[in-house]
Structure formats: structure tokens, C-alpha cells
Amino acid sequence: MIPTFKLLLFLTIAAIVYCAPEQELNVNYDNQDIQYWGRIDTSKTDAAELYWSGTSIHLNFVGTGISGMFDEEKGDNYYNVIVDNDSLFVLRPDTVRKYYVLAQNLNQGPHQIEIFKRTEWDRGWSRFYGFKIEGDAKVLPKPKAKERKIEFYGNSITAGYAVEDFSGRDRSDSIFTNNYLSYAKLTADHFDAEYRCICKSGIGITISWFPLIMPEMYNRLNPADPESRWDFSKYIPDLVILNLFQNDSWLVERPEHEEFKRQFGTVKPTNDFIIDSYADFVHSIRIEYPDAQIICILGNMDATREGSRWTGLVEAAVKQINDTKIYTFFEPFKNSSGHPTIEEQQTMAKHLCTFIEENIKW
């Protein structure tokens, strides 16, 4: 017979071993081992506020599951959640602050998670408050910083607008936009570079489909706030790629359109005005990044079709700047309707990567 006190001791140990709940670890948004890519604001609330396409959150951890706490301004943003560089699902946070399960039933070992913003800033801000890790939880050191850094400025082509609208109708619902599949992200991945993307569908340098042009937006932290300013010293790219003028090429030719009247009145802009506007914007980028190499590209929609004057305007602007670290490259016209498909984005990336490999030393 087992003595009573020994039996009680045995049962107590068994309860501890078999009945104790798994440990959970809360990781606040400002933990130094969380790696953020993008222009992110932490000044307004106890959270990281995300706006721009391609903004991402990275964490290395040990645990059997992980959740993230979010809330949204509009509930219309979508995120790719990538676990261990393999599995992927799409997360759509809503306007209620709460935890969302990002991964579960993982083996007890080291894991990586990336949360990537697919959608554009006009879908409202997202706030990220932190992670909750399950299992024998532990935060591991942040991913190693990339040796190369790249930054894109662009419009809907760069945003990946409607890239997943397989109906061919070019629908504007944010579920069809996916910056992760854009030529910009594909190019950054090809060169294993840290990625930044400053873009907005419909935007131009001289005129846009709304009352905001890239020279007014490029230096904002919060793109929806005219008073918000980004500190360019926080991210200094080796390579900057500008893909703009597609929307200018449409609207400059439409004096009957309300946006033309708002921007230009009744006077059609001259080639010299357009060239100077482009050159001034590139010069603004050069001031912020005096050592970066810059590629001024255009395409792959109809601004680069045969006979288009817009490639020549880009070339004239770059020639006017007279900077040996600024290049031009034009994506061939895709010769199809609508915005670029997944395959057309991949073709763009292939062309651009080849140009970079042949011309850029970084």
C-alpha cells in the first residue's frame, strides 16, 4: 500500500504535468524583435498604424500557434499571412479590435511569420497591437536585415490593382488587388532586397483621377494626411524605381474631364511643362537620396504603345537632369485590355530584373 502523503504528492505532480495550461506569451507591437517594412506610424496610439501597399510585419518565434491583434478604420484591407515561407492565407481584419488566429497546430519549434498588406491606403488605416504566441512560447531575434534596399513609386500597375480579378472585368473591390504579386515585389524578391512601395491607383505627376498628385504625396507618412511627413533618413534605398505617367497620358488628352479642368483649367499643358514636372519630381527624390541609383520606367499599359509620346517625355526629363546615376527603361506594351494580370506582372518583373542585372551595380 502507498502511504497517504506519498499518494497525494504523486497526484499533485501528475496534475502539474498533465493539467497545467500551455504558456502564452504576449508580444507588444513595439517589441524590438518585430521587424517592420514600410512607412509605419507609432505616434498616434499604442499600436503600429499601417497605410501603404506592401507594408509588412515579420517575427521569428517558437510556439505551436500565433495570433495578431488588429483593428481597422474601414474593414476593407487584406493581408497575406505567410508562415515559414510556405503556407499562406488571406486575412481581412474588421473594425473591432481583437485577436486573429494567424497559425495554429504548429510543431514545437522555430517558426517565421510575415503579414503583408495587399491593399492600397485608400482602404483606410490598419492598427497592429501585437502578437500572442501559444505553446512553449519564445520570441527569437528579428530576421537579418537585407543587404540591398529598394523603393518603388508608382500607380495602379505597381499597386497590383485587380491582378487577381480573373473575370477580366478589372474590378475595383480591394480583394482583387494584391501588391504581393506586383512586378515591384517580384523584383525586390529576385534581388533579395528590402522592399518599400509608395503607390496609388490613378495617380500621376501632373494630374490624377483625384485631387492629389505624386509630388504632393511622395513625402507623406500617412498618405491621407496633407500635414504628415515621412523622415527619409529612416530608410535609404540603394535603388529607386519610378513608374509614373500612365495616368497623365490619359488625362492630359481629356480637356472635357473634370480632373483636367480642376488641374489645368482650359489650357492644355505643353510638352515642356510635362517634362519639367517629371524632372522636378525626380530631383525631389534625388535630394532625399543623393547616392541612390534611380530608374525611370514606364509601362506596361498603353503609355508605351507604339507611337506614344510619353516615353520620349521621360527620356527628355532624364536628359534634362543630367545625372549619370539615373536611367530610363520602358516595359513593352502588353497589348491587352485592363490592368496587368499575374502573368503580365511576372513578365514585367523579368524584363526589369534583366535591365537591373545588366546596368546597376549595387
- Domains annotated for the chain, with CATH where assigned, are 24-139 (2.60.120.260), 148-359 (3.40.50.1110)
Amino acid letter, 224: A
pLDDT for res 22? 60
Cis peptide before 107 (omega within 30 of 0): no
Rounded Cα distance, 116 and 79, in Å: 5
pLDDT for res 17? 39
3-state secondary structure the chain: CCCHHHHHHHHHHHHHHHHCCCCEEEEECCCCCCEEECCCECCCCCCEEECCCCCEEEEEEEECEEEEEEEECCCCCCEEEEECCCEEEEECCCCCCEEEEEECCCCCEEEEEEEEECCCHHHCCEEEEEEEEECCCEECCCCCCCCEEEEEEECHHHHCCCCCCCCCCCCCCHHHCCHHHCHHHHHHHHCCEEEEEEECCCCCCCCCCCCCCHHHHCCCCCCCCCCCCCCHHHCCCCEEEEECCHHHHHHCCCCCCHHHHHHHCCCCCCHHHHHHHHHHHHHHHHHHCCCCEEEEEECCCHHHCCCCCHHHHHHHHHHHHCCCCEEEEECCCCCCCCCCCHHHHHHHHHHHHHHHHHHCCC
For the chain, list residues with pLDDT below 70. 1-22
pLDDT for res 124? 98
pLDDT for res 8? 40
Rounded Cα distance, 153 and 198, in Å: 5
Rounded Cα distance, 79 and 56, in Å: 9
pLDDT for res 19? 41
Q: What angle do CA 48, 51, 53 make, to 5 degrees?
A: 125
User: pTM of the full predicted structure?
Assistant: 0.93
User: What does the pLDDT look like over 9-59, one tens digit per residue?
Assistant: 333 333 333 344 567 999 999 999 999 999 999 998 999 999 999 999 999
pLDDT for res 129? 98
**Contact of 156 with 339, CB cutoff 8 Å:** yes
Rounded Cα distance, 244 and 256, in Å: 22
Characterize the bridge pairing of strands 293-298 and 239-243.
parallel
Cell of 168: 477580366
Query: Any idea which residue has 537591373 for its cell?
Result: 356
pLDDT for res 10? 38
Rounded Cα distance, 229 and 217, in Å: 9
Cell of 191: 534581388
pLDDT for res 23? 76
User: What does the pLDDT look like over 305-330, one tens digit per residue?
Assistant: 999 999 999 999 999 999 999 999 99
Cell of 116: 503583408
